[in-house]
Amino acid sequence: MANLTVEAQNARIKRSMRNDRIATGILTLIVGLVMVIVVSMVLYILAQGFGQLLQPGFLTEAARANGTEGGIAYQLFDSFYLLILTLIISLPISLGGAVFLVEYAPEGPITKIASTAIETLSSLPSIVVGMFGFLMFSVNFGWGYSLISGAIALTMFNIPILTRVIQQALEDVPASQRDACLAMGLTRWETTLHVLIPAAMPAIVTGVVLSAGRVFGEAAALLFTSGMSSPARLNFFSLNFASPTCAWNIFRPGESLAVHIYKIYGEGSPEAQHIVWGTAALLMICVLLFNVLSRIAGKALARRMTAE
Amino acid sequence: MTNETDQFLKSVGSSEISKRTAGVAISDEVVLETRDVNVYYGDHHALHDTSLKFHKGEITALIGPSGCGKSTYLRSLNLMNREIRGCRVEGEILYQGRNINTTKENLYELRRSIGMVFQQPNPFHKSIRENITFAPKRHGIKDKATLDQMVEESLRGAALWDEVKDKLDQSAFALSGGQQQRLCIARTLAMNPDVILFDEPCSALDPISTLAIEDLMTSIVADRAIVIVTHNMEQASRVSNRTAFFYMGDMVEYGETDQIFQRPNDKRLNDYLTGMFS
């Protein structure tokens, strides 16, 4: 380097600076392209569906004529109900798994196999998970097309995502916090429960809400498990949990928004297309809201926990 | 900052005592003792045959270059090394004459008697009050009056009370680094331990906060033993009664602090003190 002439050095600097400018240009272009794709998709779907969303009764009425008329109130309810059921099942399992892997698991083959298994589960195609759910829960267990079968199928790919997120959140808690607890004579469990999980809470909440967005938009795994139709009439005030019309009955079939889009679009009746677009717009708005909400909730929690 | 320091120095007022007593041994009552302690990380033999005694009312400094084994040794004294995967501690560690380096030892019980303060101030993500009451509550103290008294006494003990008494329910993270470290000491004091281990407690602090912590150590040592790992030679000579010098996993020389600093016997110690290496 030292024996280069001044001219050679200057040429080299010029070259580096030119390369830097080219790279900046290309990277900006790529990001710009991605943004154009996303924005135009969102705008197109909103333009197609927003009018339908504002139609009176679309969000509050039940579907009629096999979904080609009326509203999507039950599908909207079923989507959220499926999501809540899924979270109720998958959150404790994922939390337990993540805590075990981060805090307890001894280094060794069993831990490695467990980690690999969880990662494999996350890359299974959702249609395969749905098929397994159908054969296992709907047929073998005799639950038929039911919300609970759907929720368990969704749980199967929510677990790896959640476990990974919670694992990361726990690992990001500074080791000094763990040390402080253990050095004060607290057990590993007390340390985890009272210090590590609270400290990791903002990241955990962000992860849970983000995964909720994914679960909410899932269709393939639900086709075979929770089915492709909601009951024609749902009674939200019934507490007879065995009744097929009771909204809260987890053994009744149910249809998520995403499945509803698939079904109505597949039936190809042109007069029902506005319903498809309306549903798509609603689904997209919900998922976007989940994303925004996850950031806001995570930040608010983090602010509350650190200095106020 | 200056106001905080003034307040602090007024509330401690022990600088004079520390100047009088540091440098020489003042006690022969052994609280904690190790016999031929060896520490391994996997196959790596990190500490060889270390035998030392720690006396009630005295501060013992552990000095030596980075990686010499002094922190490893310190973390063996309350068996914190057991929390590190692949770490093994061999030899006898006698607390009040009883060997605690056994599989039967109740770690949780033990660590209440042998407290520890870390390099980075590490308060919990809780209020100042809860930072102190958290562990005692988990250990079964429920009475509010007792807990309140504990908060005040330990904060006074750590010379922090006057600075925080009006904001006990605020987050501990609103405090300055030096205050956080004193809160960590208060938290340890609340359990009234017989031994407190300090792992380079001032390395993340400014010089004034460092002096504050040093004064604090001198003021709380009376009825317990303190062991401090430090990189700061002046700190060791200012506060400690005895000093042990570690080098490459060996405890090379041990004696009264004045002797160690003024008349070192081992050549390596002499080289270290004169700055031949660090």
CB burial readout A7-32, b (16+ within 10 A) else e: eeeeeeeeeeeeeeeeeeeeeeeeee
Looking at residue B50, what DSSP letter applies?
E
Q: Distance between CA A180 and CA A185 in Å, rounded? A: 9
* Residue among A179, A194, A307 minimizing CB distance to B118: A179
CB burial readout A258-292, b (16+ within 10 A) else e: bbbbbbbbeeeeeebeebbbbbbbbbbbbbeebee
* Closest alpha carbon to B92 in B32, B168, B133: B32
Q: Which residues contact A36 (CB under 8 A, 6 or more apart)?
A: none
**Which residues of chain B from 108 to 147 reach within 8 Å of chain A, CB to CB?**
108-112, 115-116, 118-120, 122-125, 134-135, 138-139
Q: Does B102 touch chain A (CB under 8 A)?
A: no
Strand partners, A158: none
At A181, list the tokens: 């607890």
Q: What is the CA radius of gyration of chain B?
A: 18
- CB atoms under 10 Å from CB of B148, counted, come to 13
Going by pLDDT thresholds of 50, 70 and 90, the confidence category of residue B17 is: very low
Least confidently predicted of A25-39, A290-304, B61-75, B250-264: A290-304
Q: Distance between CA B72 and CA B50 in Å, rounded? A: 11
* Residue among B115, B138, B170 minimizing CB distance to A186: B138
Average pLDDT, chain B: 88
Distance from CA of B16 to the nearest CA of A (A): 31
Residues of A in contact with B108 (CB under 8 A): 185-187
* Residue among B108, B119, B123 minimizing CB distance to A186: B108
How much helix, strand and coil, in percent to the nearest 5, is found in chain A?
75, 0, 25
C-alpha distance across the termini of chain A, in Å? 53
Going by pLDDT thresholds of 50, 70 and 90, the confidence category of residue B5 is: low
Q: Distance between CA B228 and CA B239 in Å, rounded? A: 10
- CB atoms under 10 Å from CB of A240, counted, come to 11
| Closest residue in B to A175 (Cα–Cα) | B122
Are the C-beta atoms of B110 and B95 separated by less than 8 Å?
A: yes
Q: What burial class does residue B259 get, using C-beta atoms within 10 Å of its C-beta: 0-12 exposed, 13-18 middle, 19+ buried?
A: middle
Going by pLDDT thresholds of 50, 70 and 90, the confidence category of residue A5 is: confident
CA A10 and chain centroid, separation = 52
Looking at residue A106, what DSSP letter applies?
P
**Which one of B71, B87, B134, B170 would you mutate to disrupt binding with A, by most A Cβ within 10 Å of its Cβ?**
B134
pLDDT tens across A154-201, in order?
A: 998 899 999 999 999 999 999 899 999 999 999 999 999 988 998 898
Distance from CA of B206 to the nearest CA of A (A): 20
Are the C-beta atoms of B69 and B13 separated by less than 8 Å?
A: no
Q: Do B122 and A305 touch (CB under 8 A)?
A: no
Distance from CA of A182 to the nearest CA of B (A): 8
Distance from CA of B277 to the nearest CA of A (A): 29
Look at residue A77 and tell me whether its pLDDT is greater than 70: yes
Torsion of CA B82, B88, B91, B92, to 10 degrees: 10
Are the C-beta atoms of A180 and B117 separated by less than 8 Å?
A: no
HSE at residue B76, side-chain half, CA atoms within 13 A, is 33
Q: Do A308 and B170 touch (CB under 8 A)?
A: yes
Whole-Å CA distances, A308 to A1, A301, B167: 53, 11, 12
C-alpha distance across the termini of chain B, in Å? 32
Q: Distance between CA A52 and CA B100 in Å, rounded? A: 74
Whole-complex ipTM: 0.84
Residues of A in contact with B181 (CB under 8 A): none
More confident position, B176 or A245: B176
Q: Distance between CA A214 and CA A156 in Å, rounded? A: 13
Least confidently predicted of A103-117, A186-200, A282-296, B159-173: A103-117
| Closest residue in B to A102 (Cα–Cα) | B85
Q: What is the mean pLDDT of residues A229-245?
A: 77
Q: Do A198 and B125 touch (CB under 8 A)?
A: yes
Q: Which residues contact A202 (CB under 8 A, 6 or more apart)?
A: A297, A298, A299, A301, A302, A305
Look at residue B20 and tell me whether its pLDDT is greater than 70: no
Tell me the residues of A at the B interface, defined by beta carbons under 8 Å apart: 106-107, 174, 176-187, 190, 194-195, 198-199, 305-308
Q: Do B118 and A176 touch (CB under 8 A)?
A: yes
Residues of B in contact with A185 (CB under 8 A): 107-112, 135, 139, 191
pLDDT recorded at residue A308: 43
| Closest residue in A to B139 (Cα–Cα) | A186
Q: Distance between CA A198 and CA A192 in Å, rounded? A: 9
Whole-Å CA distances, B33 to B76, B177, B195, B229: 12, 32, 11, 16
Residues of A in contact with B120 (CB under 8 A): 174, 176
% of chain A with per-residue pLDDT over 70: 98
pLDDT recorded at residue B6: 60
Q: Do A106 and B85 touch (CB under 8 A)?
A: yes
Residues of A in contact with B123 (CB under 8 A): 180
% of chain A with per-residue pLDDT over 90: 42
Q: Does B20 touch chain A (CB under 8 A)?
A: no
- Number of H-type helices and E-type strands within chain A: 11, 2
| Closest residue in A to B80 (Cα–Cα) | A183
* Closest alpha carbon to A281 in A257, A263, A259: A257
Residues of B in contact with A107 (CB under 8 A): 85-86
Look at residue B115 and tell me whether its pLDDT is greater than 70: yes
Look at residue A285 and tell me whether its pLDDT is greater than 90: yes
Are the C-beta atoms of B209 and B45 separated by less than 8 Å?
A: no
Whole-Å CA distances, A36 to A22, A32, A43, A292: 21, 6, 10, 20
Are the C-beta atoms of A185 and B111 separated by less than 8 Å?
A: yes
